Chain A
Amino acid sequence: MSVNMHRIRTSWHKNRREWLTFLAFVAPNFIIFAVFTYWPIIYSFYLSFVRWNFLTPNKQVVGIRNYARLMQDDNFWEVLGNTLVYAVSVVLIAQGLAFLLALLLNRRVKGQPFFRTVSFTPHITTTAAAALVFVLLLDPKLGPLSHVYNFFSIQGPRFLASTTLAIWAIIIVGIWKEIGFASVFFLAGLQGINQEYYEAARVDGARPFAILRHITVPLMAPVIFFLMVSGFIQATKVFDLVAIMTEGGPVYPSSSTYAYHLYQLAFRNFRAGYASAFAIIFFIGVMTVTLFQLRYSKRWVDYEE
């Protein structure tokens, strides 16, 4: 025991300088995180058990009432469903397309950097601007699609005026923005694959599809996995597209998402406690998904190093 303590003490002495240096480097970031991230999370957890409107000095403790109400709130389930539909669709469709795009871009074609830049542009386009452009594009009477509809003399769908299609209009823009981002990552991954594998496979007479399936995809698994996790979490936070394209309508909350509804609850309806319960459920959900994905990914992702 005492020997042990002694050892710890000497190591502490020895490492004190290192410790202090470590602290000096870590402190700035840690303090910023603590003040702007960890503390709000903890405080939000507390708020989820009270009734409060941000303004009154006293917060009325209501126990788990906020959570109980939430379970019976149609809007909660609807925005949750919308958000999952959005996130899953954007991740699967955008990344599927991005992978194909990356395969194309990976060929040694003339002007590859140009095409790469073009495909990345949607990601750095201001969401607000992109959303507005798509609102016009999708308009059945004013947009360019109207020519297509007129050509076939059909009535074009009014995406934003339909309770079922409005969320898909948002998904389309989400996909468009995500493809560029994912394809650049995929391309970087593809270019990191050792060409010797391909040469060996070709010498063995493997067909292109077999090469894709047995070499490219397995070696790309870490990239695919990373993009799916980060893409999914990113997608569940969608807010700006909803705010600009539909405001959750045409019949609220038919195209509203979790983050947008949360904002409405907190800052338009002033229900800080109830909105905090929403936020905590979201936090737990995202954490669960992340941990689940990380844990089970080990089974099928082979990190090379």
Chain B
Amino acid sequence: MKNPRSLITLLAALVVMLLITAGCTAPAAPAGGEAAPSEASAPAEGGEVIELTYWHTNPGPAGDAQDELVDMFNESQDAIQVSSEFQGGYGDLATNLLTAFAAGGGPEVSQLGTFEIREFWKSGVLEDLTPYLNGDNGIDTSDWPGTMLDAGKFDDGIYWLPFNVAVPVLYYNKEAFEEAGIDGPPETWDEFFEDARKLTVKDDSGNVTRYGVAYIPGWFSWAMQSAIWSEGGELTNKDYTNITLNDPVVVEVVSKFKELLDEGAAIYPDQASGGHRGMFMNGQAAMILDSPGPFGDIMENSQGFTPMVANYPAGKAGKVYNPGGGGIVMLTVTPDDKKDAAWTFMKYMLSPESLAYYAERSGYTAFTGAAQEAAGDLLQDERYATIHAALPYLRGDFSVNMSPAVRTAFDEAWQKVFVEGADVQQALDEAQAKAEENIKDETFAP
């Protein structure tokens, strides 16, 4: 090193490299997730504040209300401070959890949709909540509806708890029903298909001016699953050893929905034109099968008729309803000394008062018995009471959602049937074969 300048150049290069590598590693630390208690903003009086991070989805009031609940929790006590972070849609939330977990970080508590529960459980992302549920600081789940608690149950552990629970809601056009001489909403699925025909109006040249029903573009399988279950059909069992996408009942139910389309009594709209909700609100469709999600919008913005709500019809097996929405989970990255705090927060989110508050703000249901008591005023409204009447019939089983193999095969099949007019039996046979083949690639393959 005779020449000092070369040394300087070398040093400069090193500094630059260090800066860059430092720059690379710094953001990799989980944002906020792992802040040690000692670093926490100095607690005002005695004891260390435990800091937690909560991730959630749901844009609009359903997301804001979660932020509000977190604020209320923080104000209710001094020991735990939760920061609430919005992560986008359900899919984005899951992707963010995935990347955070892969990097060894992430929030302690998170909302989670219904699609990823099994994959995350199988990969050890989710904490078993059974000890907390049954512990001294537990939750009495005896008044939880239907089999909702089963949804997150794997191998005798419970890894996911329902939080924002949606039930099926049938919206109907009161005047259209009166016009067609139909007395009230359909009680059975057979009645539903008949009513759809009676409600359809065509002009002189045969163009449909009002459809009996508009299907949900993209995720109509969610609604159809209630119909299939209610008629006694199954799409798969829980461990995927018996996938039955071409089960005779499935074929029959999908065929009935297709017949309505063929006759012009139903339409499968595209998302673009406001989809099924837009058509219903404009009076172009007399019924839609949906969830409480659009309740406020439909009640306020429907044009020229009175929108009404009803439960989905019953089938041969009675009423078996497919829940929607999401739940909350604790992640295994949570350090042991924070787990009790994380559970305390989860318990707060699931308290009757929180659920009642959330139901009022978001449109999701106050799904536990105690929450309904807490939401007494809300349920005075007959329409909310009707929506909540669906709760006892919920079946907590997201097996179709949770397997990409089953889910995508079924979606492709019914979409082919609805959009391309494919043969129902053939499409479902193909879906069955595809699902059985692709299930082998799942981490939880039987």
Contact = CB atoms under 8 A, between A and B. Distances in A.
A270 B121 CA distance: 13
Interface in A43-58: 51, 53-56
B420 A251 contact: yes
A241 interface: no
A250 B6 contact: no
A141 interface: yes
Interface in A217-252: 245, 247, 249-252
Contact of B217 (A17, A24, A250): A250
A141 B208 CA distance: 13
Contact of A268 (B218, B272, B404, B443): B404
B404 A55 contact: no
Contacts of A270: 98, 116, 119, 404, 443
A28 B124 contact: no
B322 to A, nearest CB: 20
A35 B404 contact: no
B7 to A, nearest CB: 9
Nearest to B284: A141
Contact of A267 (B16, B98, B124): B98
Contacts of A28: 16-17, 20
B6 A31 contact: no
Nearest to A245: B272
A23 B20 CA distance: 14
Contacts of B116: 270
B91 interface: yes
Given A56-B124, A268-B404, A271-B404, A31 B119 contact: no
A141 B272 CA distance: 11
A155 B357 CA distance: 47
B441 A51 contact: yes
Nearest to B19: A28
A20 interface: yes
A136 interface: yes
Interface string A97-111: 000000000000000
Interface stretch (A87-95, A158-166, A181-189): A158-166
Contact of A23 (B13, B415, B419): B13
Given A23-B13, A139-B273, A141-B273, A161 B415 contact: no
Contacts of A24: 9-10, 12-13, 16
Interface in A141-165: 141-142, 158, 160-163
B412 interface: yes
Contact of A161 (B12, B115, B270, B404): B270
A16 interface: yes
Interface residues of B, number: 46
B125 interface: yes
A135 interface: yes
B273 A55 contact: no
Contacts, number: 106
Q: Give the residue among B12, B94, B270, B415 with the most A Cβ atoms within 10 A.
A: B270
B198 interface: no
Nearest to B403: A269
A243 to B, nearest CB: 10
B443 A251 contact: no
Given A139-B272, A139-B273, A55 B9 contact: no
Interface string A1-25: 0000000000000001100110110
B6 A17 contact: yes
A161 to B, nearest CB: 4
Given A24-B12, A31-B20, A55-B119, A252 B270 contact: no
A251 B416 contact: yes
B419 A55 contact: no
Interface string B108-142: 00000001100110111100000000000000000
Given A142-B273, A251-B416, A267-B98, A274 B6 contact: no
Given A161-B419, A252-B411, 12 more contacts: A24-B16, A55-B119, A158-B270, A245-B272, A249-B217, A250-B419, A251-B419, A252-B415, A267-B95, A268-B94, A268-B115, A271-B441
Interface of B: 3, 5-6, 9-10, 12-13, 16-17, 20-21, 24, 91, 94-95, 98-99, 101-102, 115-116, 119-120, 122-125, 217-218, 268-274, 404, 408, 411-412, 415-416, 419-420, 441, 443
5 contacts: A31-B20, A161-B269, A252-B411, A270-B119, A270-B404
9 closest A-B pairs by CB? A55-B123, A269-B404, A24-B13, A251-B415, A161-B270, A160-B270, A135-B272, A20-B9, A267-B95
Interface of A: 16-17, 20-21, 23-24, 27-28, 31-32, 35, 51, 53-56, 69, 135-136, 138-139, 141-142, 158, 160-163, 245, 247, 249-252, 267-271, 274
